[in-house]
Structure 1
Amino acid sequence: MSLELELTALAASIAAEAGELARTRRAEGVHLAATKSSLADIVTDADREVEALIRERLRIARPGDGFLGEESEAERGETGITWVVDPIDGTVNYAYGIPSYAVSIAAVRGSVVPGEWEALAAAVYAPASGEMFTAARGEGSFLGDLRLSVTTETPAGALLATGFGYDPSTHDGDLATVRKVMTIARDLRRAGSAALDLAFVAAGRLDGYFERGLKPWDHAAGALLVAEAGGRVSLTDTATLRPMLVAGGTQVHDRVIDILRDET
């Protein structure tokens, strides 16, 4: 078995265990632990507990690897491989009982800067639906045993997804972006989990996805899912605090990039 497949199997196994912990804690009742960047950007006790579980399982399985997670301090490894983890992507949904949240785990090699790393393995697990999305570099993307493929044609317009930052000062700009992109859209979805949005692009459930201001753990796994499903992912404006991620089939991806090219 290749390294990529080994890492993917490990990611999927840990994501499934972590997802069941998250689901159990949600059933018991969510406790808010803190806010992050704003009042709307929350972290729950479950986020921290789930990340601690993931980190410990990875430490046991691959003690020399690095770790970059949303809820704990980064750790530089010795192997050149780093795990990029979002324990509960879609925390606001999770806190409100909306079943659109996921555990996102990716293994990358080299730099931990998005766009500079080489993604090797990915698992995105949706506890509420029990769906496991996986990808290994060069091996394709899968939902369970089903190989995934992005959509290639959108004759009725593209079904797109997006998200908005938690900082109210960014909302006008995000809405302006939506107005521009709606010229090619059939409709728009805003589900609240970047990892699941990207997984749905890989599965052909969405034609494309765009959002500013994502963190590495938001998209590390999902971007590999899209790429291995035959899609394209770009991260632009990386010198700014709110870079733009665009994902989709080649046609949709390129059309969105063209529309947004004049944004600053």
Structure 2
Amino acid sequence: MNHELLPTALDALAKARASLPQQSRQVIDTKSSNTDPVTAADRALERAIRDTIAEQRPNDTFIGEEYGTTDHAAGTTRWIVDPIDGTVNYSYSIPSYAISIAAEVNGQVEVGLVFDVGHNELFQAVRGQGATCNGIPLQASQETELAKALCGTGFGYSAATRKLQAQILHDVIDEIRDIRRFGAAAIDICWTGAGRVDGYFETGLKVWDYAAASLVATEAGARFATDLPGIGDDGLTVAAGSGLFDALADRIVTLYQGLAR
């Protein structure tokens, strides 16, 4: 794969990976709720990624889970960073969490890296050049039947949101093959691109959760949307192989619309 932004993204990822073993899993803060933790490692890794990119590309801007957004001028490159996607898993030493880095140009993600730390797998994509995992090309699932679809999902940090998400799961569980819940959206979406799950759905994701992974999935042949009707202002994200996407998205949207009535 070739792109002028790819070497910078890889350098930033390398710096974060080198830093991670020295970091602490200690929870030092919370965000949206008292079950939404921030560890010392979250902040240290995002700072390492930002500093590495800023050294090479001082005019670029950033949005990240821990340090927010820098001023973004039209036409400039924006980096979208989640230093640890799956912080709860990380804090419990559950090996399902990832470092996610995306480069966006004129509102379109051009380069995406998701490093699954526990499995030592680097998912990589460049727009128009496909997607790989540790250098092996990816291909999304060819499944077309909802009843045979293995689907990933996730849950929010708000108890009220989780209750609604669980109701959707209750209503759809007998219409699909089964559900998997791994606890890191970026990995779930990349695994959709890899065909390890046939589809994925979740409400309330943020751009840093899906920016890099969505490029991996779509470059692998999956379809992806993140602005479907969900819970209030929390849009519904759906990713699936092209033959399954419409059926899965339509069913989950219909269920959420039923909750709203």
Give your verdict on TM over 0.5: yes
Cα 1:238–1:164 shift into 2, 3 Å? closer
Q: Give the letter aligned to residue 136 of structure 1.
A: V
Q: Give the letter aligned to residue 115 of structure 2.
A: Y
Cα 1:154–1:21 shift into 2, 3 Å? farther
Residue in 2 aligned with 1:199?
Answer: 190
Q: Give the letter aligned to residue 260 of structure 1.
A: I
* Contact persistence 2:203–2:230 (CA under 8 A): no
SS class of match (1:76): coil
Alignment partners' CA distance in 2, 1:202 and 1:24 = 31
Residue in 1 aligned with 2:33?
Answer: 38
Alignment partners' CA distance in 2, 1:223 and 1:181 = 24
**Structure 1 unaligned runs (5+)?**
111-116
* Contact persistence 1:149–1:229 (CA under 8 A): yes
* Contact persistence 2:11–2:52 (CA under 8 A): no
* Contact persistence 1:23–1:127 (CA under 8 A): no
Spell out the pairing of 1:6-155 with structure 2 (5 A cutoff): 6-25=4-23, 29-78=24-73, 79-110=75-106, 117-153=107-143
Alignment partners' CA distance in 2, 1:242 and 1:23 = 34
Cα drift, residue 180 of structure 1: 3.2
Spell out the pairing of 1:139-218 with structure 2 (5 A cutoff): 139-153=129-143, 157-218=148-209
SS class of match (2:82): strand
SS class of match (1:83): strand
**What is the identity percentage for the equivalent residue pairs of Structure 1 and Structure 2?**
40
Q: Give the letter aligned to residue 50 of structure 1.
A: L
What do residues 206-260 of structure 1 show as CA deviations (whole Å, max 9, x unaligned)? 1111000001100001111111001100121389421100001012221111112
Cα drift, residue 171 of structure 1: 1.8
Alignment partners' CA distance in 1, 2:176 and 2:14 = 34
Cα drift, residue 77 of structure 1: 4.2
Aligned residue pairs total 253
TM-score, normalised to structure 2, is: 0.91
Alignment partners' CA distance in 2, 1:225 and 1:129 = 17
SS class of match (1:261): helix
Alignment partners' CA distance in 2, 1:165 and 1:62 = 34
Counterpart among 243, 247, 252 of residue 251 in structure 1: 243
Cα 1:244–1:120 shift into 2, 3 Å? same
TM-score, normalised to structure 1, is: 0.90
Cα 1:12–1:180 shift into 2, 3 Å? farther
Cα drift, residue 203 of structure 1: 1.0
* Contact persistence 2:63–2:80 (CA under 8 A): yes
> Which one is further off, 173-182 or 85-94?
173-182
**Structure 2 unaligned runs (5+)?**
none
